Structures are given as C-alpha cells and as structure tokens.
Structure 1
C-alpha cells in the first residue's frame, strides 16, 4: 500500500491543484496564503523557495523526477506555495474525516519512498514537487492520508479530491493576489492578476 499511495500522491494532489480558475480574497499583511486559521507567511514561502533552489540545483535525481512529472505551476514560487497549501488542506481534511495518522505510518511511507527506484528517494521527491527536502515527511503523511481515503472509498482519487475540496470550501482559503488566485470549488489555482492590489487592501 505505501508504494501505491506515493504514486497516488504524485498524481492526485498536483491534479487537484492545477493552474486555471479564479477566486481568492484579501489576506493579512505579510501573508502569502491563509488556510483556515493557519497563516503561511511571505517570509516562510521565501525561505522555502530559497532553500529549494539551492537543493534542487545539487540534486540530479530531483531534476529527473521533475521532468517526468512536472509540477502544476509555471513559477517556482507558485509551486512552493501550492505545496504548502496542499499540506495544510490535506491535514485538515484528514482531521475532519477522523483519520488518525501515526508517526509509524509516516515512517513506513518515508521508508517506502526511499526504497522506490521510480519515485524516490524522499528528499528528491520533495524537491521535484517544488519544496525543500525538509518537507518530505509532510508529503509522506499526505501519501498515508491519500491511501486511507482510497481504502475507505475504493476509488481512483475522486474521493480524496472531493474531501479536500469540501475542506477548502469550508476553510475559505485565501491566496495573496501576487501569487495567483484560488477556486475552492474546483480546487484550482489561477495565474497572477495583471493589476496588484492597492497598498490599503491589506495584502502585502
């Protein structure tokens, strides 16, 4: 099961958060995105991108994985932000569905990914998805959650996308317009708008 869920994560999550659509709203100054009561700051996003760029350049395997399964966005900043939003949405979706993910399950998923000759190791998998290696454990936890939802529903990922979509609609995910827009109904991100919000809009 861990190998299958890692494969499903590589397909279902980027597919659920693809480029297109519209939406979004004002966010607090200094925020890149707000997912429920969780704030992803611009500084957190910037550090993630800076670390990812350094690590990705030195990781040929990550480059190979990325070429085989390109991330959904056109820019490195958007890909990193989308990944961080996905992590928060998946965690909250699991909580609302009553899914309990143990450290042991995450360890098993990490070990499976590290041994997987097609999608591993875990550090390279994370970098291929646009995040630095320190987020590999978060992605492994996502894989466990996807696997549990698949086990419950016996589907090809539709149940997982529906669960995350319902969570996104309920939370009211907000993206700083400088990074794009978000449609919680379809779980899609849109491109950056040509006109940025004014200084008084509360976005920064």
Structure 2
C-alpha cells in the first residue's frame, strides 16, 4: 500500500457530536484541545510550502483523480483537511493505547524511510496530505500506529489477504468506538464530522444562526 495514498485518507470513521467547544477552539478530542490559532498557523505554513512543491501538487491531484475528496473550495477545504488529520492522529493514538500497542520510534523511522523512497520523499507526501513539512514525523507516526494496530489484529502485510481485510474491518469498528468515547467536538465554522468517511465535512449553514464557539457543557 502506497503511503501517499494511505496518508491522504484519514483512517476509520469517526463519530462526532454536534456540540460546540469554547471560543478559540477548533476541536476537542477527549481532554485535548486543538486551538483555532494553531490550526490557522498550520494551514498558513502548509499553503506557503505546498504551492512551491510540484511533486506534492501532483500527488494531491492524483489522489483527487482516484476519488479522494480533497476539496477545491479555497480556504475551507484546507482547514478541514488539516483538522481531519490532527484529530485522527489523536484518535489513532488513543486506540493504540487502549489495545496495549506501543509505537517505538524505530517503527516511525521505518515509515519515514519508506516515504523517502517514494517520489518527492516524506516532505512532499506530508504536503500532499494537507500538513506542513514540520508535521512529517507526526504523519509517519500515524501511519506506523495504524500498521501496528492492524498487526495486533492479525494483518499479515498483504492488503488483499483475508487476514488483513478482517483486521481492517476490526480497526474501523474500534476507531469509531474510540472516537465516540472521546466525545469529539468540532467548531461549526469548520464543518461537522461525516460518520461514514471519518472526516470533517462541509459547513452546514443555517439562516439566522450566529457563528458558534465551542463550549462543552
């Protein structure tokens, strides 16, 4: 499985609720908070780097052509893509802990080496995924985490084998459960969770509804 393709689709289907976190918060994942400021800076950094990386642009365009919904709306889609990954990083980490799976630095290093053997290397793959270069190791750790959990569930490294497919099904079921227990909340200005795709979907506009902050009751 190509890491570039795997990284462009956040793993699992996340279940979110419709509540709104406190002002200044982009999302809440369990006890962890992703701020509007950090998300905005992440996307600003990404835009400046992505526009000058021809390989990252080709990877992203190719994934879009294969059906991955990268979005074309200026601004909003960039924020949703980055926020989806940042949330998924935390959910995958929580699932690994629940399953007693540790993620050694060596496994993350293995993923980085594999990424660097692909066109553009790890940096371009990270940019194609919607994050700036300084999040490359985070992305590699996310891929390593999913792989290790799948191995715990019996995956044998062959994506077409019954064992790997069964492990993938179990992973999807458990990642949904983990997300549900974390009571993920997303600021409505960025959209809502799609329970089937596990990403931050488009903003649902409502007439006469002021922009909400995030405030967990």
TM-score bracket relative to the smaller structure: 0.7 to 0.9
**Counterpart position of 2:148:** 148
Give 1:192's match in structure 2, choosing from 176, 199, 203.
203
- Of the structure 1 ranges 183-192 and 50-59, higher mean CA displacement relative to structure 2 is found in 183-192
Contact 1:34 1:175 in 2 (8 A): yes
**Counterpart position of 1:107:** 109
From the superposition, tell whether residues 185 and 170 of structure 1 become closer, same or farther in structure 2 (CA, over 3 Å). Answer: farther
Contact 1:87 1:142 in 2 (8 A): yes
Q: Identify the structure with the greater helix proportion.
A: 1
Q: How many residues align?
A: 195
**Counterpart position of 2:131:** 131
**Counterpart position of 1:10:** 7
CA distance in 1, matches of 2:91, 2:2: 17
- Of the structure 1 ranges 70-79 and 91-100, higher mean CA displacement relative to structure 2 is found in 70-79
From the superposition, tell whether residues 98 and 65 of structure 1 become closer, same or farther in structure 2 (CA, over 3 Å). Answer: same
Unaligned runs of 5+ in 1: none
| TM-score of the aligned structures, taking structure 1 as reference length | 0.83
| TM-score of the aligned structures, taking structure 2 as reference length | 0.79
User: What is the RMSD computed on CA atoms of the aligned residues?
Assistant: 2.7
Unaligned runs of 5+ in 2: 72-76, 156-163
Shift in Å, 1:107: 1.1
Q: Tell me which stretches of 4 or more aligned residues in structure 1 moved more than 4 Å.
A: 183-186
From the superposition, tell whether residues 93 and 43 of structure 1 become closer, same or farther in structure 2 (CA, over 3 Å). Answer: same
Contact 1:23 1:183 in 2 (8 A): no
